[in-house]
Amino acid sequence: MTTEESSPQEEARTLESAWLFAGGPPPFDRLEAAEVVPAMERLLAEVGTAFDALEANLDSTWEGLIEPLERMGDQLGRAWGTLGHLLGVQDSDALREAFESMQPAVVVFSLRMGQSAPVYGALCALRDSEAFAEAPDTRKRILASMIRDAEHSGVGLEEEARTRFNEIQLALAELGTSFGNHVLDATKAYGLDLQDPADVEGLPEGLRALAADAAEGPEATAENGPWRFTLEAPSFIPFMEHCRSSGLRERLYRAYITRASSGELDNAGCIDEILALRREQAAILGYASYADLSLSTKMADDSGAVEELLEELRLASRKPAADDLEDLQKRATAAGDEEVALWDIAYWAQRVREERFAYSEEELRPYFPLPRVLEGLFALAERLFGIRVVQADGEVPVWHPDVRYFRVEETAGGEIAAFYLDPYSRPAEKRGGAWMDECTGRSALLGEAGRTRLPVAYLVCNQTPPGPGGKPSLMTFDEVRTLFHEFGHGLQHMLTRVDEGLASGIRNVEWDAVELPSQFMENWLYHRETLLGLARHFETDAPLPEALFEKILAARTYRAGSDMLRQVYFARIDLELHGRNEEGEGESPFEVQRRVAEGTTVLPPLAEDRFLCSFSHIFAGGYAAGYYSYKWAEVLSADAFGAFEEAGLDDAAALAKVGQRYRETILALGGSQHPLDVFRAFRGREPSSQPLLRHSGLA
C-alpha cells in the first residue's frame, strides 16, 4: 500500500497492526488516544470472530482449544493492558475518554469468554479425555484453574440457579461500589477546623500546609491558619502522631472509627446484604461458606490452616503488644499524662520512636541516590541469581523521557527478559503508589520464528524526582524498599522458565502467595553488606554511617508485636464474618468484631467503634476472606530468606548456591505448580512462621 492510497485512519491502522496484531514493543512514542477506539474495535471484532469459530467447531485437545484461547486472551490482554498501563502513567482526558468508551465492550467480551457454556463443556471433555491423563502436570494445573474459574463464574449452573447467581453478582458489584462511595463521601464530609495557633503547635510543617489548603477561604496559610484536618490518611496519621492535645486527638479518632456508620452514608446495611449475598453465592456454587469459596482458589488449604497460622501469630504477639502499651504508658506518665487511651497510642509511639532511634528521612536521603541504588540492586541480583541487568535505553520507544529500559541476561550470556522502569512521581499524569505489571509474558506458543517469547515487565514507582542542576533522585528508605519490592515481583515475571504462557511468571499463582518474591527482596535491605554496599553519599561518596544503619535495624522491630496483633485482629474478623453459614446469623457483625477483639487487642475498641463500616478491603475490594494473605505471604517470604541466613549471610559462595536454588524454584516455576510444592522444592520442608517472628523480634 502506498501512502497516497491510504486515508489517515487507515494509516493509523497500519501503525496499530504492526503492534497489536504482530507483537513487538508498544509504540509508546506514537500512540495517540484517537487511535485507541478504532484499534480496539477492530481487535475486538477479530478476536470475536475467532471465538465464534472456536465455539462453533469445538475441539477438545490442547492444540485445538487451549492454544487458541491463549492466543485470543493474549491479543486482547496485551492491547488492553498497554492502554491500561498508559492510563496509569500518562493519564489524559482524551485517553481516559477513549478507554472508558471501550471498557464496556471489553468487559462484555471477557465475560463471554469466561462464561461460554460450550467452551466450558469442551474444557471438561479435555480434562476427562484419555489422552490428557498423560499430559504434563503444568497443563493439568492450567486446565484445572480454567475449569474452576469458569465454574465460579456460574457457567456450570442450571438455568434457574444461574439467573439468581447473575443477579447476585450484579447486586454485589453495586453494593461494593456504594460501600466504597459511602466511605469516600463520609471521609470527605468530615473536617476538624482549628483557628488557634496553640492547637497546631508541634505539627509538622507539611501537615499544616495540607490543612491550610483544606481550610475554607482563600487567606488560610500554613503559619497562621485556619486549618482543616481531615480523615484522609496523609492528614489523619500525622495528626494522630503529632497533635499535642489529647482532646483534639480524641475528636479526630472518634470521627475516624465511626466513618460511614450513620445517616445516609451508613454502611451497616450494606455489610449485612453483602455478607448474605456472598453466603448465598457460595451455597449456589456448592460451598459451605464464602470463606470456603475464597480459599478454594488460594494456597491455604482451608480456614483451619489459616486459623492455625493466625493463632500462632496471635500467641507470639499478644504479650509483646501488651509490653508495647506498657512502654507507652510509662513514657506518658513521665510526661504527666494519665491513662493512655486509644487516641494517645500513635502520639506516644511516635515520641518514643523519635527518642530511641529516630533518623529523619532527610538525613538518609543523600545516601540513596537512584543510580547508586540501582547499581546495588542489580549487583545483588547478579550475586544471588547469576543474572546481569544491562542498560538498554533507546532500544524501544518509551512514554516519558525519564523512563529507563533494561535487558536481563544470564551472566554466562543469553537474553532472558527486559523491563521498563518509570521511577519518578508525576502527580499530574501518573497514578500514586508503585506496581509491577506485565508488558508481555513468557510463552513458547506466542514467540516468533520458532523462538519462545520473552517476558517484559513494567516497574513503576513514585519516588522523589531528580533535583535541579543534575542532582540525582535522592530516595527515602521507604522508596528504596518499594523499589526492591517491585523488582522482586519483576524477577518472578522475568526469570520464569515455564514455557506455557498461561502459567509462566506471575500467572496462575495463588493470590496469597504472589507477595512472596516481592517481600523477599525487602529483607536484603537489612543485610549489612547489601545496604552498606548501595548506600553512598551522592556528593562525598562516604558510606552510610554505622550508627544510622543500627537505627534502621532497631526501627524494624519497633512495635512489631502491636502491628502483628492488629493484622491478626483484622484477618480474624474477615475470616469469621465470611466463614459463617445461616446458623451464625444470631450475632451481628459488630458483635463478632467485639468478640474477636477480646483476644486480639490490648486496649479494647470503644463500644461505638464501627470500623467495619470503612473496612473497604473486604467489602469493596478483593480481600474478602483473604485479608490473611498479607501475613501468609510474609511467613513465606521471611522463611525463604531464612534459608539464606542459615547458609550464612557473609558467605558469598553459599549465598549464590541458595540463590540458584531460589531462582530455579520460586522464581522459575511460576504458576506451573501448587505454591506449597514450589516452596517445598526450595526449602525442603513446609513453611514455618518462626523466621517471620524472629525478624519481627517476637521469637
Catalytic residues, by residue number, are 486
Is the Cβ of residue 281 or residue 518 nearer to Zn ion in the bound state? 518
Angle, CA 368 vertex, CA 366 and CA 371 arms, to 5°: 120
> Are 62 and 142 in contact, with CB atoms under 8 Å apart?
no
Q: Which DSSP category does 544 fall into?
A: P
Residue 458: its H or E element? strand 456-463
Subset of residues 323 to 382 that bind Zn ion, contact rule: CB under 5 A = none
Instruction: Give buried/exposed letters for 545-555 (b at 16+ CB in 10 A, else e).
Output: eeebbebbeee
Burial label for 486, CB within 10 Å (0-12, 13-18, 19+), is buried
66-74, 498-506, 512-520, 691-699 -> range binding Zn ion (CB under 5 A)? 512-520
Q: Is 90 a residue that touches Zn ion (CB under 5 A)?
A: no
99-107, 265-273, 414-422, 511-519 -> range binding Zn ion (CB under 5 A)? 511-519
Is the Cβ of residue 459 or residue 612 nearer to Zn ion in the bound state? 459
Sign of CA dihedral 509, 153, 612, 244: positive
Phi, psi dihedral angles at 452 (to 5 degrees): -70, 135
Count of other CB atoms within 10 angstroms of residue 5: 7
Q: Determine the residue type at 342.
A: L
Is the Cβ of residue 486 or residue 576 nearer to Zn ion in the bound state? 486
The nearest distance, CB 201 to Zn ion, in angstroms, is 38
25-33, 90-98, 518-526, 556-564 -> range binding Zn ion (CB under 5 A)? 518-526
Phi, psi dihedral angles at 680 (to 5 degrees): -60, -40
d(CA 102, CA 39): 10
11-19, 466-474, 510-518, 598-606 -> range binding Zn ion (CB under 5 A)? 510-518
The nearest distance, CB 156 to Zn ion, in angstroms, is 33
Count of other CB atoms within 10 angstroms of residue 652: 12
Q: Is 492 a residue that touches Zn ion (CB under 5 A)?
A: no
Q: Is 518 a residue that touches Zn ion (CB under 5 A)?
A: yes
Measured N-to-C along each axis, helices 233-242 and 345-357 cross at an angle, to the nearest 10 degrees, of: 70
Bridge partners of residue 457, in order along the sequence? 419, 438
The nearest distance, CB 686 to Zn ion, in angstroms, is 23
Q: Determine the residue type at 208.
A: R
CA 80 to mean position of chain CA atoms? 20
Is the Cβ of residue 601 or residue 637 nearer to Zn ion in the bound state? 637
Bridge partners of residue 437, in order along the sequence? 458
Omega prior to 543 cis, within 30 of 0: no
Q: Cell numbers of 67, please?
A: 492454544
> Are 28 and 95 in contact, with CB atoms under 8 Å apart?
no
Q: Strand pairing of 415-424 and 456-463?
A: parallel
386-394, 418-426, 514-522, 690-698 -> range binding Zn ion (CB under 5 A)? 514-522
213-221, 413-421, 439-447, 517-525 -> range binding Zn ion (CB under 5 A)? 517-525
Query: 332: number of CA atoms within 13 Å, CB side?
Result: 23
Q: Which DSSP category does 673 fall into?
A: S
3-state secondary structure of 408: strand
Is the Cβ of residue 303 or residue 518 nearer to Zn ion in the bound state? 518
Q: Which DSSP category does 454 fall into?
A: P
The nearest distance, CB 160 to Zn ion, in angstroms, is 41
Is the Cβ of residue 252 or residue 459 nearer to Zn ion in the bound state? 459
Sign of CA dihedral 393, 398, 401, 405: negative
Longest CA–CA separation in the chain, Å: 85
Distances (CA, A) of 107 to 78, 168, 181, 438: 15, 18, 22, 19
Is the Cβ of residue 141 or residue 485 nearer to Zn ion in the bound state? 485
The nearest distance, CB 633 to Zn ion, in angstroms, is 9
The nearest distance, CB 519 to Zn ion, in angstroms, is 7
The nearest distance, CB 493 to Zn ion, in angstroms, is 12
Q: Cell numbers of 515, please?
A: 507477595
Is the Cβ of residue 463 or residue 518 nearer to Zn ion in the bound state? 518
Nearest residue to Zn ion, by Cβ distance, number only: 518
The alpha carbon torsion through 63, 69, 70, 74 (nearest 10 deg) reads 150
Is the Cβ of residue 82 or residue 518 nearer to Zn ion in the bound state? 518
Mask of contacts with Zn ion, 14-43, x by CB under 5 A?
------------------------------
# chain residues binding Zn ion, by CB under 5 A:
1
Is the Cβ of residue 251 or residue 431 nearer to Zn ion in the bound state? 431
Q: Determine the residue type at 531.
A: L
The nearest distance, CB 25 to Zn ion, in angstroms, is 25
322-330, 414-422, 513-521, 679-687 -> range binding Zn ion (CB under 5 A)? 513-521
The nearest distance, CB 489 to Zn ion, in angstroms, is 6
Distances (CA, A) of 253 to 112, 209, 229: 46, 21, 11
Measured N-to-C along each axis, helices 629-647 and 675-683 cross at an angle, to the nearest 10 degrees, of: 20
Distances (CA, A) of 2 to 6, 7, 14, 17: 7, 10, 11, 16
The nearest distance, CB 482 to Zn ion, in angstroms, is 9
The nearest distance, CB 508 to Zn ion, in angstroms, is 17
Subset of residues 178 to 207 that bind Zn ion, contact rule: CB under 5 A = none
Is the Cβ of residue 403 or residue 509 nearer to Zn ion in the bound state? 509
Distances (CA, A) of 586 to 275, 590, 593: 14, 12, 14
d(CA 229, CA 103): 37
Is the Cβ of residue 518 or residue 530 nearer to Zn ion in the bound state? 518
The nearest distance, CB 496 to Zn ion, in angstroms, is 17
10-18, 50-58, 317-325, 515-523 -> range binding Zn ion (CB under 5 A)? 515-523
Instruction: Give buried/exposed letters for 582-620 (b at 16+ CB in 10 A, else e).
Output: eeeeeeebbebbbebbeebbbbebeeebbbbbbbbebbb
The nearest distance, CB 518 to Zn ion, in angstroms, is 4
By CB under 5 A, name the binding residues for Zn ion: 518
